[in-house]
Structure 1
Amino acid sequence: MILIHVAEGQALVWSAEEARELRERHGLCGTPVGSLARQPRQNGRLGLPLRLLPEEATLLAERGLALLVKARGRGGAGPGPSEEEQGNGQLLERLHADQRALALEEKRALLEGLSEHIKQGRQMKRGRRRQPGAGSEAVDVSLGPSRELEDLDRNFSFTLENTLTQIHTSCPHARQLDVVNWRVPSTDWHYPGDPAHALRYCVFKDLHDKGYQLTSGGKFGGDYLIYPGDPMRFHAHFIAICVPYEEGLPLHDTVTAGRLGSNVKKTVLLCSVTKDKTVIYTSLRWRGIQ
């Protein structure tokens, strides 16, 4: 059973094995939204957790392939920090102390190296001034970073915010989970009863049953991008736009959708659902003025 963690309408899969099962066995891709531990400052390649579309999570729950869960609150633990939070705070303090000692050692070695270099430079400068014709200005070779070394321990600054911490790829503690009823709207899962979600879900389920794979189509102005197979191997062939049945679509929106599909070389599908749950598709193709 796949566990889908939900919070404020977001459906997340944290297990790499479950994410692989979703893609290979069920044809559901999701979107990686997590930072990579070794490359945290880039967004070209992302990792776990895998964020699912609400329609993907609903489809899995409806077919009994997944459970929607959320982490259980602290209950009667009181307003103070929990044991897990206290342990994390103590670990952070130990990491900060160790990393501060290493940074202080590195800073001391750097200043010692600079001190020797500056001392040699001043000695050479004093030797040149002693040559015939040179001035008699005195040079104090004792000046330099040596004074900073004496006060380094007291003045060295290494704040807690600069501490490097490890990002866990799984929860290091055993946690209690509560099952979320995906059929009833709640603060964590507010989609049931939403007409817009019901329309998109019917379209998503019908296309998925036909063998297509779908991702979010927001970047192309639609609801879904429709692929004939795995999006890693194919380009999207269609842009799906969900339109309520028997509701008019303004002409300028129709023209915009047709031109958009032509520009990105994809066919636009206007998708509607009848009262008997039949999905109707209307394709748009922009031909321009002849």
Structure 2
Amino acid sequence: MLAHTPKQNIFSGMPMTLLPEEVTLLVEKNFAKVVQLKDPANPPTQDLKDKYAEYLEKVNKEQVESYEEERKKRVLSMIDIIVEGKKRKLMKQLKQRQTTGDTIEIDREAILNSEMQRGSVTHTPYVQTFTEDPWYKENDFTPADWNFPSTKEDKLKYEVFKNLWEKDYYVTPGQKFGGDYLIYPGDPVKFHAFAIVQCRDHTDPIPMVDLIAHSRIGSTTRKTFVIASQREDGEIAYHSVRLGDLS
């Protein structure tokens, strides 16, 4: 979600933690590239520190101005109610003093200023979520080596991940359910996972005890447990495991 619009789930922002499979997919599809600082051990320059301090001051000032503007709008929307309330209070005081004939004058501008001062508190800046690095330039970075997947197991997992992504499924880690991935029909914020996917080499035998355990996990979590493997021709095959009817 974006920091300035938290009550929505359509647009996502940075920072975020990506799976190795996601990084490889982004690089392979030319959606992103992996870079690193040319000299990560080099401390920030004084100029960069000054820019950072100036930026913090600017952001804090903008946030205070925005807060005061919103506060003024809220007060103005209720000013008539506040004025009527103060009139009733003054009339009650006059009756208690048995005073009659006095005209009650209410200064709306004074009330507005008073309410604005009451709403003025020590402002704590909001935490910002950056969608790009505001301090470094593009020439401060150099291409970084990215070697995932390198093992046979990781290559299989990546091919399965990519295949699921190309089928328009949403994929998240599935280790807590005994698999490699959880599969969603749509945004995980809106939908529950409907399948647990475990990646296995197509030549590896699956012990019966594992099949029973997988089927029980699927039954307990109300998800389909799926075994994914890659055939010799490169195609990804999926086999679901579920408890049979013993009656």
TM-score under structure 2 length normalisation: 0.56
Corresponding residue for 1:90?
A: 57
**1:240-290 deviations in Å (ceiling 9; x for gaps):** 212466476571x4324224445746462254799xx99776542321313
Specify whether residues 93 and 67 from structure 1 end up closer, same or farther in structure 2 by C-alpha distance, changes over 3 A only: closer
Aligned to 1:216: 172
Task: Give, in whole Å, the separation in 2 of the partners of 1:160 and 1:212.
Answer: 48
Q: Which runs of 5+ in 2 are unaligned?
A: 105-110
Provide the C-alpha distance between the structure 1 equivalents of 2:64 and 2:129, rounded to a whole number of angstroms.
19
Aligned length: 224
Q: In structure 2, which of residues 103, 123, 126 is the aligned counterpart of residue 160 of structure 1?
A: 123
Whole-Å separation in 2 of the counterparts to 1:103 and 1:281: 55
1:213–1:259 CA distance, 2 compared to 1 (3 A): farther
Query: Is the 1:241–1:269 contact (alpha carbons within 8 Å) kept by the matching residues of 2?
Result: yes
Does the 8 A contact of 2:225 with 2:240 survive in 1?
yes
CA contact (8 A) 2:225 2:242 kept: yes
Quick check: 1:268 aligned with 2:232?
A: no
Matched position secondary structure for 1:82: helix
Return closer, same or farther for 1:273/1:199 CA change in 2, 3 Å cut-off: farther
Q: Is the 8 A contact 1:71 1:175 kept in 2?
A: no
* Structure 1: tracts of 5 or more residues without a match: 1-33, 132-140, 142-147, 184-190
Q: Map of 1:192-271 to 2, 5 A cutoff?
A: 197-204=154-161, 207=163, 212-214=167-169, 215-216=171-172, 218=174, 221=177, 222-225=179-182, 231=186, 239-243=196-200, 246=204, 249=207, 251=209, 253-261=210-218, 264=222, 266=224, 268-271=226-229
Q: Could you say which residue in structure 2 is the equivalent of 1:54?
A: 20
Query: How large is the Cα RMSD of the aligned pairs?
Result: 5.4
Q: CA distance change for structure 1 residues 100 and 74 in 2, over 3 Å: closer, same or farther?
A: farther
Q: TM-score, normalised by structure 1?
A: 0.50
Q: Relative to total residues, which structure has the larger strand share, 1 or 2?
A: 1
* Matched ranges for 1:132-143 at <5 A: none
- Contact residue 231 and residue 237 of structure 2 kept, 8 A: yes
Question: Is the 2:13–2:131 Cα contact (8 Å) retained in structure 1?
Answer: yes
